[in-house]
Amino acid sequence: MSTDDVAAQTIQRITLPLNLFPPDRWTNLDVSNYVLLPAQGAQATVVSFQVPLGQHGIVKKIANNFVGGGWVEGSAAITWQILVDGAPPPGTTSYDNILTSLGNPSNPVEIAGFRIFENQVLTLVVKNATVVVAGQLSGGRLVGWLYPRDMEDDGIWL
């Protein structure tokens, strides 16, 4: 590989907008699940995913939904949270208290996106404030891509 080729790859690493496009080496991130609605005052993890060592990623689409009766969209009787290591992703506090269904697992909605890093645990949690449980379900899906962390320049995010 020539010096010019190495320089071009370095520039690509720094300038590629990873939040918009997967790099040339990437792995699909697509996890989904359904769980029974938890009891009133309780919460349940709908989806959980741990970022593999040596990988970073971008989450670009999300979905959460409710299947069954007894809930009105936007009422706060049911809420969802997207968490990274137990807290909202930095800069995305709007995912800390989701009051409505964002798409459904078969058709997730596109979001601005947020980054995830190796070994972090990404979760979608459903909380039941007041809905009487009668076999209802909550579903969720998280979609994006993972890429080798060595594709990033060490100081790019400082």
Domains in the chain with CATH codes: 19-151 (2.60.120)
pLDDT digits (tens, 9 = 90+) for 81-138: 999 999 998 877 788 899 999 988 999 999 888 989 999 999 999 999 999 999 999 9
Helices (H), the chain: 3-15
pLDDT digits (tens, 9 = 90+) for 16-58: 555 566 667 788 999 999 999 999 999 999 999 999 999 999 9
Whole-structure pTM value: 0.83
Q: Would you state the pLDDT for residue 68?
A: 96
Between CA 89 and CA 149, with CA 144 as vertex, the angle to 5 degrees is 75
Q: Give yes or no for residue 15 having a pLDDT over 50.
A: no
CA geometry: angle 126, 87, 96, nearest 5 deg: 50
Which pLDDT score, from 0 to 100, does residue 20 have? 62
